[in-house]
Amino acid sequence: MTTQEIAKKWAEYCTSGRWDQAQAELYDNNCVSLEMEGAQGFPPRVEGLEAIKAKGENWNKMVEEFHGVEIDGPIVAGDHFSATMKMDITMKGQPRKVDEEIAIFRVANGKIISEQFFYPVG
C-alpha cells in the first residue's frame, strides 16, 4: 500500500474505533511509538507492535467512557502522514473532556514504522 492508502485506512479505522484493526493491518512488527515527555502513565518510547498494543491496553484501563473521536486529515507528505485527533472521553476519576493531539506517522515498505503524538502535558 502507498502512504496515502495507509493514511486513509488508518483514519477510517480510528474514526470508527477500530484501533486494534489499524495496528494489526497497518503497523510493522518493529514499529516505534513516541509519546510526549512527561505523559502520565506512559514511557516516552515504546518499541515493537506487541509493546504498542500493551500500551493501548493500559490506556483503555484508564478510560471510564469513550464518547467518540474526530479525525482531521490525514495530510500526506512523502513517506509521512499526520492528522489531528479530538477524543471526547471520560477518564476514570475525571470529568468528561475533549483531548486534542497531533499524530505523525512514518511509512516504509507498506507499513507504519513510527508514530509520534503531540499534546498538552500537565
Tell me which of 40 and 30 has the higher pLDDT: 30
Average pLDDT score over residue span 80-96: 94
Percent of the residues in the chain that have a pLDDT greater than 70, as a whole number: 99
Look at the chain and report how many structural domains it folds into: 1
Sequence-ordered list of residues with C-beta below 8 angstroms from that of 87, at least 6 positions apart, any chain: 66, 68, 69, 98, 99, 100, 101
Q: How many residues does the chain have?
A: 122
Percent of the residues in the chain that have a pLDDT greater than 90, as a whole number: 76
CA 69/CA 17 separation, integer angstroms: 8
What would the pLDDT profile of 43-87 be if each residue is shown by its tens digit?
899 999 999 999 888 888 888 998 989 999 999 999 999 999 999
38: helix, strand or coil: coil
| Strand ordering across the sheet containing 80-91 | 45-47, 27-34, 111-118, 97-108, 80-91, 63-77
Highest average pLDDT, of 26-35, 36-45, 85-94, comes from 26-35
Residue 103 has pLDDT above 90, yes or no: yes
Kindly report the pTM of this predicted structure: 0.91
Identify the bridge partners of residue 82 per DSSP, sorted by sequence position: 75, 104
Query: What is the DSSP secondary structure assignment for residue 79, as one 8-state letter?
Result: T
Q: What is the CATH number of the domain that holds 91?
A: 3.10.450.50
Cis peptide before 95 (omega within 30 of 0): no
Question: Domain containing 44: what range?
Answer: 3-118
Q: What is the mean pLDDT of the chain?
A: 93
